[in-house]
Amino acid sequence: MKRILSLVTVALLALGVVSLGGCGSSKTTSQDGYAQQISFFQWTEYTPQSVLDSFKQKYGITVKMTNFSSNEEMIAKLQAGGLSEYDVVVPSNYAVKGMVAQNLIQPINKDNIPNFKNLDDSFLNRDYDPGNKYTVPYLSSPVVLAVNTKKMTKPITSYNDLLDPSLKDQIVVVDDERPIIGAALLATGHSLNDTNDNDLKDAENWLKKLRPNIKVFDSDSPKTALITGECSIGLIYNGEAALAIKENPDIKIVWPKEGISGLTIDNLSVVKGTKHEKEAELFINYILDPAVSKSISEAYPYTNPNKAAHSLLSQNYLDNPASNIPFDKIKNSELLNDVGASLSQFDRIWTEFKG
């Protein structure tokens, strides 16, 4: 997952506070047996403060949220003593197996998560956590292909169309090696997670052909280059694409025939050995309440796996193809996985590609 930087965020958060006002009871003190505070380790700009406030209003439990900007940072902090500091964390799918192996997260008692039933099957029982023993899907933030159809004279149907010399300095991509190298692997007929030397060489050669067409590398606000017209095409996070579409309806989402290049699922997990297990599971269940889940997506328009929330989401969200990615595309798409020791090879390709 990557954060969204948006001028409308403050307004959306304000709406979130209003929308959650009737979400639960008016209780302002802890129920018997509940701790007064839990600690939530979460990505930047991924959970509205209004959700934490409404949880406190309902259960009397303060949620102290601390933010991280990468899975690597989150894991390093847990390894360096964070197991005693945090109760709930949000790992991406490709980090889960390693965290289980290192005893950083623990099994979740789904008897305490009745709202688990609200999740769509497309996000469940994936290979990173069969049976969802350790994870509860939160949001998904794939990299999508966004095209300004008013500026483009030729149709885009494949990643290979991006190699057209007429697109020189017309593309913005996220500064994120896995989904962009993933697009190169897909374009050359390989898996997103391929680590074969010859196949990676194919991807590397493809990227060299793409490089003259890239004008901007931007993970913070890649939508800006599309909105201003500086670029005509973007390989960008879907939440950013959703905001770009709201600003400029000429921007459309294209589904390349090779598939989605950077699909990830971010998950709620309980930290190993937490002293607040029942409060952590109570909080996870609360996040899955349809009205709460709706408020999260209204603030941060990534793809929401909560099918029950979709009946409450605004028409603006539902009609935005960048946010509301069809569940069948999620189900049938390959996830970015941990490539282990081969990551150094990806790092080298990316460094040389950027120049």
pLDDT at res. 105: 98
pLDDT given for residue 39 in this prediction: 98
Higher pLDDT, 9 or 139: 139
Same topology for domains 9-140+265-323 and 143-262+333-354, yes or no?
yes
Chain center to CA of 303: 8
Q: Cα–chain-centroid distance for residue 59? A: 28
User: For the residues 191-206, what does the mean pLDDT come to?
Assistant: 97
Q: In what order do the strands lie in the sheet with 251-254?
A: 214-217, 171-173, 233-237, 143-148, 251-254
Q: Is the pLDDT of residue 68 over 80?
A: yes
Quick one: pLDDT at residue 325? 93
Q: Quick: pLDDT tens for 325-344.
A: 999 989 999 999 989 899 89
Per-residue model confidence (pLDDT) at position 220? 82
How far is 119 from 256, CA to CA, in rounded Å? 26
- 12 half-sphere exposure, CB direction, 13 A CA radius: 22
Is residue 145 within 8 Å of residue 186, measured between CB atoms?
Answer: no
- Give the bridge partners for 252, in sequence order: 147
Q: What is the pLDDT of residue 15?
A: 39
pLDDT in tens, 159-198: 999 999 999 999 999 988 999 999 999 999 999 999 999 9
**How big is the chain, counted in residues?**
355
Q: What is the dihedral of CA 270, 271, 275, 280, to 10 degrees?
A: -30
Alpha helices per DSSP H over 102-156: none
Is it the case that residue 123 has pLDDT exceeding 70? Answer: yes
What are the residue boundaries of the structural domains of the chain, listed by start? Answer: 9-140+265-323, 143-262+333-354
Which pairing describes strands 233-237 and 214-217: parallel, antiparallel, or unpaired? unpaired
Is pTM beyond 0.75 here?
yes
* CA dist., res. 344 & res. 198, Å (int): 15
Grade residue 32 by pLDDT with cuts at 50, 70 and 90: low
CATH 3.40.470.10 fits 143-262+333-354, yes or no: no
Tens of pLDDT, residue by residue over 272-281, are: 999 999 999 9
Task: Out of 3.40.190.10, 1.10.10.10, 3.40.80.10, 3.40.47.10, select the CATH number for domain 9-140+265-323.
Answer: 3.40.190.10
| Average pLDDT of the chain to the nearest whole number | 90
Task: Give the C-alpha separation, 83 to 276, whole Å.
Answer: 12
